[in-house]
Amino acid sequence: MEYKKTIVITGGAGFIGSHVVRLFVNKYPEYKVINLDKLTYAGNLANLKDVENKPNYRFVKMDICDFDAFLSLMRSEHVDGIIHLAAESHVDRSIKDPFTFARTNVMGTLSLLQAAKLYWESLPEKYDNKMFYHISTDEVYGALEMTHPEGVESPFTTAASSQHHHAYGETFFVETTKYNPHSPYSASKASSDHFVRAFHDTYGMPTIVTNCSNNYGPFQFPEKLIPLFINNIRQRKPLPVYGKGENVRDWLYVEDHARAIDLIFHKGKVAETYNIGGFNEWKNIDIIKVVINTVDRLLGREPGEDMNLITFVTDRLGHDARYAIDSRKLQRELGWEPSLQFEEGIEKTVKWYLENQEWMNNITSGDYEKYYDDMYKNR
């Protein structure tokens, strides 16, 4: 079949990436969608079992730092667009091992950019109808002051935010907020963002950067807060909470993020930055209480029965107090807004993890790593 476009989605076996791959494969049968993933600890092809046999889907196991291999793929597949999600993303891991984060997030992104540049510039049409879309994080902006510890009414309004809609400060991250990363993870992402923009400014490559808030939902690797706590509550294991749990984050359901990526890839303006957020600030301790109540109720326990599992631990080094995204530019220019209230999203998320215990057991045992390593080691 002759495909209208060939899109590479890096990190497509990961949490957010798998949702983007699924959306593109199902929504655009006229596109060839290539899922490029190294299958590190957080990449899991079981996340995509429902699309793995679709005719417009292909998986390629590759390290984004392998410049020669990626350039060869660009040429052989005639790639038109790159949606770049592959990254080391866990702050705690970056504190222990910053070199891996610099290698993957900075040098890996540069490898993709240079390969795309060489291939696209070799074409008669050059950069026409091409796009390098880089997904980043709100953490590159640093931290915001928390001037309302108890929360006040948020200045943002969306259809999905009528219930819990607090702000814990006067200021929010906007697209022009000065970068001020505080962890090795956010420093590596900030650097990669700069490289993407530099390739537009220097070579004219069509690029877009988006900075998103915390995601949650199905298929998230269970070292992250929400799936970790769902699993621990189910097993009645301690729930480790940094400091006093007062840190504030903006939360977005992962399928809403995937919808935003789809919209921006197709209709966003070249060289623009878009912030993607949930208009949805929560203190960590309040999220944890919602998760406990939801898990307890769905397991037939007394609501709040497992509050005693909360265990306060020494705070993370350089732990930013508050992140809050202002995504009104995306709302205003492209008409996107979140579709789910947090309580509704948490309900769906908890149900998914409780109903997919085999997936969770395979992840936590590491069985899937050996299984897929054996499957793909000779490809």
Q: Which residue is associated with the tokens 């070199």?
A: 99
Select from 327, 332, 179 the least CA-distant residue to 252.
Answer: 327
Verify whether residue 138 is a known catalytic residue.
Answer: yes
Task: For residue 226, give the amino acid letter.
Answer: I
Give 269's DSSP letter.
Answer: P
For residue 128, the SS3 value is: coil
Task: Indicate which residue of 139, 250, 255, 256 is catalytic.
Answer: 139
How far, CA to CA in Å, does 324 sit from each of 180, 191, 231?
Answer: 14, 21, 27
CB 256 within 8 A of CB 138: no
d(CA 188, CA 88): 9
- For 1-32, letters b (16+ CB in 10 Å) and e give eebebbbbbbbbbbbbbbbbbbbbbeebeebb
Verify whether residue 139 is a known catalytic residue.
Answer: yes
Task: Indicate which residue of 37, 63, 138, 256 is catalytic.
Answer: 138
d(CA 135, CA 35): 15
d(CA 221, CA 364): 9
Task: Indicate which residue of 185, 216, 274, 372 is catalytic.
Answer: 185
Verify whether residue 97 is a known catalytic residue.
Answer: no
- For 181-212, letters b (16+ CB in 10 Å) and e give bbbbbbbbbbbbbebbbebbeebebbbbbbbb
Helix (H) or strand (E) holding 136: strand 131-137
Q: Which residues are catalytic?
A: 138-139, 185
